[in-house]
Structure 1
Amino acid sequence: MSFGDEHGHGNDPGRTDDNFGGMGQTRTRLPDGGTGDGYGGARRPPRSSRSLIAMVGVVVLLIAAIAFANREGGGDDTSASTTGGGEGASGPQPTAASGVKPVTGKNGGIPSGFAKDEQGAESAAANYAVALVSADILRPDARGGIMSQIFAPDKAADLEAKFNAAYDKAFLDKIGLDEKGNAAEGLTYVSRTAPVGTKITQFTEASATVEVWCTGVFGTAGVSSTNPVTNDWFTMTLKLQWVSDDWKVESFAQKDGPAPVNTDRTASNADEISKAVAEYGGFTYAR
């Protein structure tokens, strides 16, 4: 999820449409032996109205937090995504492996030291998108460190204050977390993002605008959870600056999609989801 984006976080942290990267409303198809759909699978009976209401309620809360952060930050998703054509800009390129390692080190657990070229900017944007929509962004004791590592020095303090205002105790209560951003005993809060592709829309030696197409899983795993883990698809637009020999975020925004049709795969139970989150680590992303 994300701050602004929940999850979200830029000059206007978070989504512009939803702004902040995180939980979007997800339709789940379940097989039932009825008539198959146009994609070769049968649809299962829809979720109960009570489950749907609970899921929609959480999504509304997240979008409200993201919108608040974006309004305060003054960011503009449209301007970021239509800037293309700057000096050195290139057209859409396939996201194929280049064989070049994105970075040689990490700072506070977040990759750093990206190359001063288009590939470096895309790698930075992909890795920063993961951090901005992580579960840690909801934890006050971890948020400051994330902000200082990702955002340009002249933006970090102001944005952290806005994130703190959006992710206050009242917000955390509504999504089932305590004031430290932790789930109740026996539950596991999940916010895991995976970039699917990146695209440069503007590039110079001093700045870049990168779109990162993402998917992810968001929610709370556990038998008593009222916010079940669901998947989402969204695109984050990050404006980057070259500062102190690295790419840093000046602002970012988020919008829904593009989203594929969901398959009729049986959902895993809460224990399986919790175990997967604990056992499978993340990646350092690069083109």
Structure 2
Amino acid sequence: MSLGDDDYGSGGGHHVTRTRLPEGEVDPYAPPRRGGRGGRGGRAGRPSHRNLMSVVAVVVLLLAAIAFANRGGGSDSGSTDGDAAKAGPRGEATAPSGVKPVDGKTGGIASGFAHSEQGAQSAAANFAVALVSADILKPEKRHQIVPQVFVSDKVAELQSKLDGAYSKDFLAKLGLNEKGEAAKGLTYVSRTAPVGTKATSYSDASASVEVWCTGVFGTAGASSTNPVANDWFTMTLTLRWVDNDWKAESFSQKDGPAPVNSDRTASSADEITKAVEQYGGFTYAR
């Protein structure tokens, strides 16, 4: 539900619910008290000692939590369990829905999606990232990606179509050689980030999912004639449940929805190159 669905902006009168707080606490919606120089008015403006101690306690706890989070996986010399200390904190799968997002990865692409609508959306998001990556332009990598993303009876057909689409002439227009590699001193960038997903149809056997994406695409480098720019597009994938996992049958792409461009100053080619090299991608799960 959007904010526009609320009644806060309607023509009726506005009502504010006030809560009677215990003595010593402040109602954030109440008008500020005017404390005098003497008498009871002077006491109203002074924070209670108990409230001050509560604030100090919260700050101490926050600092302790931050320190613990930044401690990393180093051993704790004060721990009685040496093995647990050496192991450090263990990572946990992020699954707000309570459903484990994926079981693992195959060739760097997430796999083992849940047999549910959420699992189908997770699969579509990860497949969109793979299908618009820089690796898809490299024949050797492309021939590894397609069998991992698509159902087996569609692999040969889609492999042929993609090989034809990413021809030598097409790659040359991007400043890449026939192997999908940029010239020396240049870095080709093609990285996609799903913004949201929507299942337009779903059954236990198949699904259709739209993935709204943004990304950065182009060639970074001082002599580049195809500078890195951002783009917004929506990819639609039809999926099929086969061999206990979701696989794609087909996909299509259209422009937008795109927001208004900000007036942020563009980074240099060197900064973009370093960002691509230093920041890794994610596994996406609904």
Same fold (TM > 0.5) = yes
Alignment correspondent of 1:229: 228
1:27-38 equivalences under 5 Å are none
Give, in angstroms, the shift of residue 203 of structure 1.
0.3
Gaps of 5+ in 1: 1-95
Which AA in structure 2 matches 1:260?
Answer: P
Letter in 2 for 1:161: S
Deviation at 1:101, TM superposition (A): 3.4
Deviation at 1:175, TM superposition (A): 1.1
Which structure has the greater CA radius of gyration?
2
Shift of 1:99: 5.1
Q: Which has the higher contact order (CA 8 A, sep 6+)?
A: 1
Structure 1 residue 241 corresponds to structure 2 residue 240: yes
State the 1:166 CA deviation: 1.3
Change (3 A) 1:283 1:260: same
| TM-score normalised by the chain length of structure 1 | 0.66
Distance 2:129 2:151 in 1: 17
1:141-175 deviation line (CA, Å, top 9, x unaligned): 10011000000100011110111111111111111
Equivalent residue number for residue 135 of structure 2 = 136
The one-letter amino acid paired with 1:212 is: V
Cα contact 2:241–2:247 (8 A) shared by 1: yes
- CA drift of 1:97 comes to 4.3
Partner of 2:255: 256
Residue 104 of structure 1: how far off its partner (Å) = 2.0
State the Cα distance separating 1:100 from its structure 2 match. 3.7
Distance, in Å, in 2 between the alignment partners of 1:246 and 1:100 is 15
Match of 2:13 in 1: none
> What is the rounded CA distance, in whole Å, between the counterparts of 2:173 and 2:256 in structure 1?
25
Matches for 1:1-287 after TM superposition, within 5 Å: 97-98=96-97, 100-287=99-286
CA RMSD of aligned residues (A): 1.1
Contact 2:136 2:142 in 1 (8 A): yes
Distance 1:193 1:97 in 2: 23
Report the Cα distance in structure 1 between the residues aligned to 2:209 and 2:275, rounded to whole angstroms. 30
> How much has 1:237 moved relative to structure 2?
0.5
Whole-angstrom distance in 1 between the partners of 2:203 and 2:144? 28
What is the alpha-carbon distance in structure 2 between the residues aligned to residue 231 and residue 99 of structure 1? 34
1:97–1:286: 8 Å Cα contact kept in structure 2? no
| Post-superposition offset of 1:257 | 0.6
Using the alignment, how far apart are the partners of 1:265 and 1:248 within structure 2? 39
SS of corresponding position for 1:128: helix
- Separation in structure 2 between the aligned mates of residue 258 and residue 101 of structure 1, nearest angstrom: 30
Supply the AA of the counterpart residue of 1:113: G
1:196/1:214 contact within 8 Å kept: yes
Q: Structure 1 residues 97, 264: CA separation in 2 closer, same or farther (over 3 Å shift)?
A: farther
Query: Partners of 1:198 and 1:244 in 2: how far apart?
Result: 23
How many residues are paired up? 192
